[in-house]
Amino acid sequence: MEEGESVDEYFGRTLSIVKRMKAWGEKIDQILIVEKILRSMSTKFNNNICPIEESNDVTTPSIDELHNSLLVHEQRMKSY
C-alpha cells in the first residue's frame, strides 16, 4: 500500500492485478489474496490486522469482509 493511498484505491489496484493474473491462467485462492493484502497494508492499519494475523486464521475473513473492516477503520481515523 502506498503512502496516502485509500483502502478503496488499494483494493481496486490489488484486485485488478489478481484479475489479470487469473486471466493468464494463474490459480489464486482467496486465502492467498487475504494474506498478501494483510502483509502489504500500511502500518496505520495494524490495529485491525494484528488480531487477524495473531489468531492464525486468515481463512475466516473474505476479501469483502476485510475490505469493509479496513474501510471502517479508515473512516474512524479520518474523523479524529
Q: Is residue 62 part of a domain?
A: yes
Q: Is residue 1 part of a domain?
A: no
Domain, as residue range, for 33 = 7-79
Residue 38 in this model has a pLDDT that exceeds 80: yes
pLDDT, tens only, 42-71: 888 887 787 777 775 666 678 898 899 889
Provide the mean pLDDT of the chain: 87
Sequence-distant (6+) residues with CB within 8 A of 33 are: 14, 15, 18, 63
Q: Is residue 49 part of a domain?
A: yes
Q: What is the pTM of this model?
A: 0.80
The answer to whether 33 and 21 are in contact (CB under 8 A) is no
If one counts the domains in the chain, the total is: 1
How many angstroms separate the CA atoms of 34 and 29, rounded?
9
DSSP symbol at 61: S
